[in-house]
Chains A and B, each alone.
Chain A
């Protein structure tokens, strides 16, 4: 899914030697992903082609990052077992991220 900007690597600020991006490896639902240290999970996952971060607790349909400002709560995932918003949590080496398990039943 080509959602990485076409001029990735043009290095707007890297040219001045100001910014160093460090890649890290984390997992989402056991699949490895590459991220850049310090970026939010939602961005790293979307670059990796992941749009759905979990399912609705009500009807089990897919849900993803919507507002990106901590308001809608739809990007909630488990980071090392702790519920966190993917629009706020920052990637790091070895981070274990999982979708929240569907509830199964209920209304």
Chain B
């Protein structure tokens, strides 16, 4: 066994990799755990050899390759393909892959687990031809495969336009973009976007391209229903405010998502303080600029601390690395301040733009109300197939909090552990009980953070090896 590292970094996205490399440069022993086959996270996911031959080598790919190369040469011990299924204070991390388990211990833990996509239901969203926006992006960029020939792109936030652009790049067709935000809401953020000329330029280029290709952008709209036809989907689109359907389109794939939210498994398990960001519509762990949470030795960096995008994630990761060095006595306060200053300056500039984008990703409660009004049999929990109507009935029967709601409906009890349905459940409860989402709360985070195969956990054993608890009373 290798010696106990000073730091374990959980997550191999840009923030985690930069935190690990930076801490390592300060002389700390660092282990990075990542559940993907290779580091890079979602934004810099390593393309397969096939994808490299069929998609253009864009900025993300070059940056990702550079990141992987930096990590390879850094002296950071990398455990790829391992997921964390349990975390205990102190810190003990229980890892698993599909075949085995192992335990890792360290004094400091950096949660760099990034963001997950936020979803809200519409009738038919469990059809296999419907996938997340981020998922569609990964399929194209890392897999070199289009979601479908004719893709409908729907949801909220800048990822809509990025994915549409990628579909076109890969030679696919975008039948329409359905955006919960209106043109006016985007325009209101245009001035903010101007603070980040690079991003503004990219945005304008995307829009121009979509306009040239004649792709309809439907603002203030949501998918109301997707019905499976002979060999494609018949999709009805309506206004976010309800009323009669405004349009119907046919496609053979839907990419949808309502922005990103921090992945909170580790910080929730460790009971770090979380705060609710009203504009973004999600909880994130409370942390200082170096990522220190209120739990000793626990850091959070990158999008996991609040979704700000890859550029910010990189800066946050470096800052966390410096912070670790200071907290482990490798540098003094003056050095830390000196190292942090330019990073903090750069972050301040990006912060304004990132926050504007975050608020555009937040579809607000209207989205659940809309789904409820038009198709109460819509499934809000994909794993357990719980409908919005069944959820509403449980609330009327007396389920007043998230955990009772989960117990009475099984919503959130399936293999995804509520990651896909928690936002819907919260909004439904908030609406029915006339409370703020913060009052409604969250599902209690349970282990394992990812399903663990029994065989991996049990290993090879004989009956005599089984340690039994004390016998029950006679």
Contacts and interface: CB of A to CB of B under 8 A. Distances in A.
Nearest to A73: B415
A87 to B, nearest CB: 8
Given A3-B149, A19-B49, A66 B382 contact: yes
Which of B116, B126, B149 gathers most chain A CB within 10 Å?
Answer: B126
Nearest to A8: B54
Interface string B119-131: 0000000111111
Contacts of A82: 98-99, 453, 455
A90 to B, nearest CB: 6
A25 to B, nearest CB: 15
Contacts of A9: 53-54
B49 A21 contact: yes
B128 to A, nearest CB: 3
12 contacts: A1-B148, A5-B146, A20-B49, A58-B383, A58-B384, A65-B135, A67-B116, A67-B134, A68-B136, A71-B117, A73-B383, A88-B35
A43 B48 contact: yes
| Contact count band on B | 35 or more
Contacts of A73: 383, 414-416, 451
Interface stretch (B137-145, B235-243, B272-280, B356-364): B137-145
A53 B450 CA distance: 20
Given A3-B253, A5-B146, A5-B172, 15 more contacts: A4-B146, A5-B170, A12-B57, A19-B53, A20-B49, A38-B48, A46-B139, A47-B145, A52-B128, A71-B420, A72-B420, A73-B414, A79-B98, A83-B98, A88-B35
Q: Is the interface of B mostly helix, strand, loop or mixed?
A: loop
Interface string B395-433: 000000000000000000011100110000000000000
A56 interface: yes
B169 to A, nearest CB: 8
Contacts of A46: 139, 143, 145, 147
B451 to A, nearest CB: 6
Interface string B160-179: 00000000001110000000
B137 to A, nearest CB: 9
B142 A43 contact: yes
Interface in A22-62: 22, 36-40, 42-43, 46-47, 51-53, 56, 58-59, 61-62
Interface in B169-191: 170-172
A102 B18 CA distance: 44
Interface string B283-300: 000000000000000000
Contact of A76 (B132, B149, B253, B415): B415
A62 B128 contact: yes
A49 B31 CA distance: 39
Contacts of B451: 73
A67 B135 contact: yes
Contacts of A36: 48-50
